[in-house]
C-alpha cells in the first residue's frame, strides 16, 4: 500500500439519504420516515469510528445501508476507492468479502441446522476458490484467533453461550479477511465480564488482521473505551462528530451533553442527577421545523425553529450542528 493510499479514507459517505414510506390503511404513501437525511462522514484506515444515539436515530439503518441491505435514495458511498451505493446485488458480491457486518444478534446469523464447521466454511465456498484442505486450515487458524477450541466446530449454535456465538460470528467474517467490519451493538445482552473479554478480542483482532471498525452502539462507556472518533446521530442526522476524547470531555451539542450526563458514574464529574433530557423524540414521520432537537432542548430559541443548523467545524477536532455551539 502506497503512502497516498494509506492516507485516503477507506469509507467515504456523502449526503446519504434513506427514507421509508409511511402508508395509510389503503397502502397509499402519506409521508416519509427520514431514517438517514443528508449524512456525511469518513472512516479512516485502521481506526475505530463510533456511531451513537438513542434508539430510532438511524444507527442500524446506516450500517444496513452501507451493506446494501437497504438501498440509498440519494448520496454516495465510496468504499476503498469505488462507489458502491448504486451497485446491484450481483455487483456487490465482488466487494462483499472486504466489507462485512456483525449483527446485533449473532445467533440469528447462524443456521441452527448447521454445525459451526459448515457455517465457517460457507463464506469461503461462496467468495473464494480455496479447496477443502485450504478452507480447513484457514477456519482452524481463525477459530484459534477468536479463542475457541477446534472441538467447537462440531457443535450447533444452540450449544454455545452468547459470548461464544459472538466469537463464531467474528470468525465467520474473518475467514474472508475483510478490510472494514461494521459492528452493530456488538456487546448487547452480554454479562459485564463477557463484554470485557469480547472488547479485548476486538482490539486483538484489529491489530492481528489490520481491521477497520465502524462501531455502532448505544453504550457510551464502551464507545469511549473503544473508539478513536465518534459521530452522534439524532433523528437521521449527525449532530456532533469528532475525536472521542474531545467529544466526551467537551461536548458541544446539547444533545451530546445530555447523553453523556446520563452515563452512571460512581466517582467523577458526571452523574445521573445532571441528566436533563426529557420526553420522547418527535414523531419521525412528522419532524419539527429547523433543528430536530429543539423540542427537547433548553437552549432553543426562535432561530432554531426557522433555520436548520449545519454541521460545521469548530476547532479542528469537533463538528456540531447547533446555532450556539
**pLDDT value at position 7?**
61
Give the total number of structural domains in the chain: 1
Residue 223 domain-assigned? yes
Residue 155 domain-assigned? no
Q: How confident is the model at residue 3 (pLDDT cuts 50, 70, 90)?
A: very low
Residue 131 domain-assigned? no
Q: Are strands 48-52 and 74-79 parallel, antiparallel or unpaired?
A: unpaired
Residue 56 domain-assigned? yes
Percentage of residues of the chain with pLDDT beyond 70: 94
Alpha-carbon gap, residue 134 to 288, rounded angstroms: 57
Q: Which of 301, 279, 185, 281 is nearest to 236 (CA)?
A: 281
**pLDDT value at position 281?**
83
Domain of residue 250, CATH code = 3.40.50.300
Residue 137 domain-assigned? no
Each residue of 138-182: pLDDT tens digit?
999 999 999 999 999 999 999 998 889 889 988 998 999 999 999
Residue 270 domain-assigned? yes
**pLDDT value at position 56?**
87
Give the residue, 285 or 232, on which the prediction is more confident. 232
Residue 80 domain-assigned? yes
Q: Which stretch of DSSP H or E encloses residue 12?
A: strand 9-23
Each residue of 124-139: pLDDT tens digit?
998 889 999 999 999 9
Each residue of 215-263: pLDDT tens digit?
999 889 899 999 999 999 999 999 999 999 999 999 999 999 999 987 7
User: Is it the case that residue 267 has pLDDT exceeding 70?
Assistant: no
Residue 228 domain-assigned? yes
Residue 194 CB contacts under 8 Å (≥ 6 apart), including other chains: 161, 162, 163
Residue range(s) defining the domain that contains residue 16 = 3-98+178-320
Amino acid at each position: 500500500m502506497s503512502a497516498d493510499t494509506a492516507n485516503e479514507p477507506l469509507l467515504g459517505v456523502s449526503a446519504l439519504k434513506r427514507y421509508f414510506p409511511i402508508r395509510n390503511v389503503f397502502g397509499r404513501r402519506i409521508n416519509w420516515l427520514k431514517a438517514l437525511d443528508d449524512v456525511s462522514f469518513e472512516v479512516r484506515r485502521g481506526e475505530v469510528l463510533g456511531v451513537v444515539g438513542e434508539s430510532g436515530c438511524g444507527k442500524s439503518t446506516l450500517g444496513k445501508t452501507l451493506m446494501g441491505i437497504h438501498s440509498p435514495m440519494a448520496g454516495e458511498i465510496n468504499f476503498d476507492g469505488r462507489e458502491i451505493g448504486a451497485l446491484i446485488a450481483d455487483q456487490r458480491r465482488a466487494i462483499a468479502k472486504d466489507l462485512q457486518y456483525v449483527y446485533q444478534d449473532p445467533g440469528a446469523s447462524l443456521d441452527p441446522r448447521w454445525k459451526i464447521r459448515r457455517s465457517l466454511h460457507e463464506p469461503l465456498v461462496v467468495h473464494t476458490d480455496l479447496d477443502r484442505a485450504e478452507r480447513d486450515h484457514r477456519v482452524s487458524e481463525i477459530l484459534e484467533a477468536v479463542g475457541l477450541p477446534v472441538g467447537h466446530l462440531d457443535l450447533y449454535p444452540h450449544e454455545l453461550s452468547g459470548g461464544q456465538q459472538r466469537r463464531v460470528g467474528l470468525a465467520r467474517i474473518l475467514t474472508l479477511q475483510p478490510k472494514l467490519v461494521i459492528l452493530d451493538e456488538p456487546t448487547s445482552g452480554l454479562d459485564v465480564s463477557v463484554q470485557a473479554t469480547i472488547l479485548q478480542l476486538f482490539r486483538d483482532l484489529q491489530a492481528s488482521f489490520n481491521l477497520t471498525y465502524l462501531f455502532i452502539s448505544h453504550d457510551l462507556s464502551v464507545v469511549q473505551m473503544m473508539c478513536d472518533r465518534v459521530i452522534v446521530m439524532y433523528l437521521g442526522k449527525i449532530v456532533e462528530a469528532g475525536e472521542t476524547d474531545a467529544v466526551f470531555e467537551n461536548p458541544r451539542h446539547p444533545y451530546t451533553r445530555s447523553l453523556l450526563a446520563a452515563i452512571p458514574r460512581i466517582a467523577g464529574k458526571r452523574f445521573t442527577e445532571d441528566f436533563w433530557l426529557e420526553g420522547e423524540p418527535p414523531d419521525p414521520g412528522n419532524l419539527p421545523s429547523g433543528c430536530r432537537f429543539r423540542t427537547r432542548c433548553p437552549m432553543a430559541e426562535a432561530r432554531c425553529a426557522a433555520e436548520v443548523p449545519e454541521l460545521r467545524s469548530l476547532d479542528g477536532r469537533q463538528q456540531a450542528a447547533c446555532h450556539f455551539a
